[in-house]
Amino acid sequence: MNPALLAAANRRGIVCMVGAMGCFVTNDALVKFASQSMPSAQLIFIRGFMSVLLVLVLAHALGATTRLREATRGWVAGRALVDAIATMLYLGSLFHLPIGNATAINLAAPLFMTLFAALFMAERVRGARWLAVCAGFLGVLLVIQPRAKGFNGWALVCLLGTLFHAARDLMTRRIGAGVPSILITLATAVAVTVVSGVSSLLQGWKAFGPFELGLLALASVFLTGGYYFIISSMRHGEMTLVAPFRYSGLLFALVLGYGVWGEVPNTLAWSGIALLIGSGLFVLYNERRHRRAAEAPVA
């Protein structure tokens, strides 16, 4: 690909990844409020149902509903199923692990994504990208500071969920460019909703009021945005370059944690934040340097 076109695709992929992380973290904060009075599976099902309705409206507005069959077959359907399995594995482990441990394991996804891209997509992974991914993950550990005693058998379930998330992103790259991203979003929303709906029947339901419904309605908007942006991020640019920007979700979480719950990072966490930001800036600087070298006229 032309260096200028590749650079533009990489920029779009990075922006979409950061946008996805912002949407997902905001969704998580809203869900955290609602979860105080509702069972988790019921909450996920109601939120998912509203998300499906929203995506259907958007798909109709974009003229994609005439192609709904494409959301039920091939890589699109397979990706949706893998996403649903990954979601339930992660949530199942979250109830049995300290949240810091579960988050740390989940944020290992960029490591797996970079490895998968090198093994299965023949992407050339420069040393600088590996350095950025590993430095970012170290920053995650410094911020979250998972406890050794919190790791148990459920940590393996969480790790399996993380592998499924990485596989989901790899599968996104296999979907034909002609398939609208909104249809992939719809398939994902439907799959997660169906799986959570079955789980909610086993877990049971509780009565809820308009406040919880309002929180979940707003959460469904951010969830839909997160689905769409994460799909778009994986369809543009180089996977090994875009993947490290998944760590930006932790920065959004820190901002929300401080603004909503008054949580202040300690010294180790501030070191991790600096490492996260530094690794992102390093990636951008290194890519700009390589692009300028590629565009420089040959003497």
pLDDT digits (tens, 9 = 90+) for 216-236: 999 999 999 999 999 999 998
> Both tokens of residue 13?
């992929």
Give the pLDDT confidence score for residue 122 in this predicted structure. 78
Indicate if the pLDDT at residue 91 is higher than 80.
no
In a domain, 274, yes or no: no
Q: Please give the model's pTM, rounded to 2 decimal places.
A: 0.88
Please check the confidence at residue 295 and state whether its pLDDT lies above 70.
no
Q: Work out how many domains the chain is built from and give that number.
A: 1
Q: Is 83 exposed, middle or buried (0-12, 13-18, 19+ CB in 10 A)?
A: buried
Percent of the chain with pLDDT over 90: 43
State the pLDDT at residue 208: 87
Cβ neighbours, 10 Å, residue 92: 16
Quote the mean pLDDT of the chain.
88
| Distance separating alpha carbons of residues 283 and 215, to the nearest angstrom | 36
Which of helix, strand or coil describes residue 130?
A: helix
Whether residue 94 is predicted with pLDDT greater than 80 in this model: the reply is: no
Q: Is the pLDDT of residue 299 over 60?
A: no
Is the predicted pLDDT of residue 142 greater than 80, yes or no? yes
Length of the chain: 299
Read off the pLDDT of each residue in 292-297 and give the average, rounded to a whole number: 68
Is there a domain that residue 248 lies in? no
Phi-psi bin for 122: left (phi > 0), alpha (psi -120 to 50), beta?
Answer: left
Check: CB of residue 110 under 8 Å from CB of residue 139. no
Residue 40 included in any domain: yes
Q: Are 65 and 59 in contact (CB under 8 A)?
A: yes
Question: Poorest-confidence range of 15-19, 78-82, 236-240?
Answer: 236-240
Question: What are the Cα distances from residue 235, in Å, to 20, 133, 187, 277?
Answer: 13, 20, 16, 24
pLDDT (0 to 100) of residue 1: 64
Nearest to 76 by CA among 12, 194, 168: 168
- Quote the tokens at residue 143: 């911020």
Q: In this model, does residue 99 exceed pLDDT 70?
A: no
- The Cα–Cα gap between 20 and 30 comes to 15
At 104, the pLDDT band (50, 70, 90 cuts) reads: confident
Tell me the Cα Rg of the chain.
19
Q: How many CB atoms lie within 10 A of CB 96?
A: 14
pLDDT in tens, 5-38: 888 899 999 999 999 999 988 988 888 788 777 8
Question: What's the Cα-to-Cα distance from 56 to each of 68, 183, 284, rounded to whole Å?
Answer: 10, 9, 36
Residue 21 confidence (pLDDT): 92
Q: Is residue 212 part of a domain?
A: yes
Domain assignment present for residue 41? The answer is yes
| Amino acid at site 81 | L
pLDDT at 278 over 80: yes
Domain assignment present for residue 186? The answer is: yes
Identify whether 134 is part of a domain. Answer: no
State how far the Cα of 49 lies from the Cα of 149, in Å rounded to an integer: 37
Residue whose tokens read 């740390």? 104
Q: What is the pLDDT of residues 156-196, one digit of tens each?
A: 888 999 999 999 988 999 999 899 999 999 999 999 999 99
Spatial separation of the C-alpha atoms in residues 27 and 14, rounded to whole Å:
20
Residue 298 has pLDDT above 70, yes or no: no
Alpha helices of 69-180 — where are they, by DSSP H?
A: 74-94, 99-106, 109-120, 127-144, 153-172
Q: What is the pLDDT of residue 254?
A: 86
- Digit-coded pLDDT (tens) for 123-138: 878 788 898 899 999 9
- Between the CA of residue 232 and those of 51, 237, 262, what are the distances in Å? 18, 10, 33
pLDDT digits (tens, 9 = 90+) for 24-76: 889 888 887 887 778 888 988 999 999 999 999 999 999 999 999 999 989 99
Q: What is the pLDDT of residue 216?
A: 94
Q: Which domain, by its residues, includes 82?
A: 3-125+149-239
Share of the chain above pLDDT 70, in %: 97
Domain membership of residue 298 (yes or no) is: no
Tokens of 250: 């932790």
pLDDT value, residue 6: 85
The dihedral formed by the CA atoms of 186, 10, 161 and 32, expressed in degrees to the nearest 10: -70
Whether residue 297 is predicted with pLDDT greater than 70 in this model: the reply is: no
